[in-house]
Amino acid sequence: MGQAPSMLTQYDIEEVQEHCNNLFSQQEIVSLYQRFCQLDRNAKGFISADEFLSVPEFAMNPLSQRLLKMVDGLNFKDFVAFLSAFSAKATIQHKIEFIFRVYDSDSNGKVSFNDILEVLRDLSGSFLSDKQREQVLSQVLAETGYTKESYLMLDDFIKVLGSSDLKIEVEVPVD
């Protein structure tokens, strides 16, 4: 789908739907395509970091840089796959996997103490000192039986987060 034509054919829609495991309906995919073309100003087939940051609500988000690394330069098919974690039909496991990927910035399959610290730093900025963050994290990890040297895998994430009800859902406007 490199050319980004202005109309999607039925084949294209079905291909994208398969790629995202049917987590979006065909109408939602058409809406997402309209949105994709709106953000991709010169029809290059992908959305650049600059174009994402031109959405003020996104630029203001503390996790925007992290998410940018994951979504920058994706073509439409992968863009939909990226967003599929936010579909109402996605499983809790899928959503937790997404969160894991956000933490695991070096994609080595494990999340270290420092990885979590980095995300905390993004979320709290200059309003907490590094020492405070380390302290809080060590304390909370110890309560759950982990140490500073522990590496959390996806299974650990599922164990910790699986019981809470995660609200990660975004509604795709369908006109």
Partner 1 sequence: MSGSEKLTSLSSELDLDRPNLEDYLPSGSSIQEPHGKLRLRDLLDISPALTEAAGAIVDDSFTRCFKSNPPEPWNWNVYLFPLWCCGVVVRYLILFPGRVIVLTVGWIIFLSSFIPVHFLLKGHDNLRKKLERFLVELICSFFVASWTGVVKYHGPRPSMRPKQVFVANHTSMIDFIILEQMTAFAVIMQKHPGWVGLLQKTILESVGCIWFNRAEAKDREIVARKLREHVQGTDNNPLLIFPEGTCVNNHYTVMFKKGAFELGCTVCPIAIKYNKIFVDAFWNSRKQSFTMHLLQLMTSWAVVCDVWYLEPQNLKPGETPIEFAERVRDIISVRAGLKKVPWDGYLKYSRPSPKHREQKQQSFAESMLRRLEEK
The Cα 138–Cα 135 span in angstroms is: 5
Which CB atom, from 18 or from 169, has the smaller least distance to partner 1?
169
| Nearest-approach distance from CB 59 to partner 1, in angstroms | 5
Name the residues that contact partner 1, by CB under 8 A: 32, 35, 38-39, 41, 50, 52-64, 67, 71, 83, 86, 95, 98-99, 102-103, 116, 119-120, 123-128, 132, 136-137, 139-141, 143-144, 146, 157, 160-161, 163-164, 166-173
Q: Any residues with CB less than 8 A from the CB of 22 and at least 6 apart, and which?
A: 89
Q: How far is the CB of 108 from partner 1 (least distance, A)?
A: 18
Dist. CA 119–CA 117, nearest whole Å: 5
Instruction: Between 22 and 132, name the residue whose CB sits nearer to partner 1.
Output: 132
Please, what is the minimum distance in Å from the beta carbon of residue 19 to partner 1? 18
Q: Give the C-alpha separation, 131 to 145, whole Å.
A: 21
Smallest gap from residue 15 Cβ to partner 1 (A): 20
Instruction: Report the residue number, 13 or 99, with the smaller CB distance to partner 1.
Output: 99
Q: Cβ neighbours of residue 155 under 8 Å, at least 6 residues apart?
A: none
Rounded Cα–Cα distance for residues 138 and 144 (Å):
10
Residue whose structure tokens are 């979590």? 116
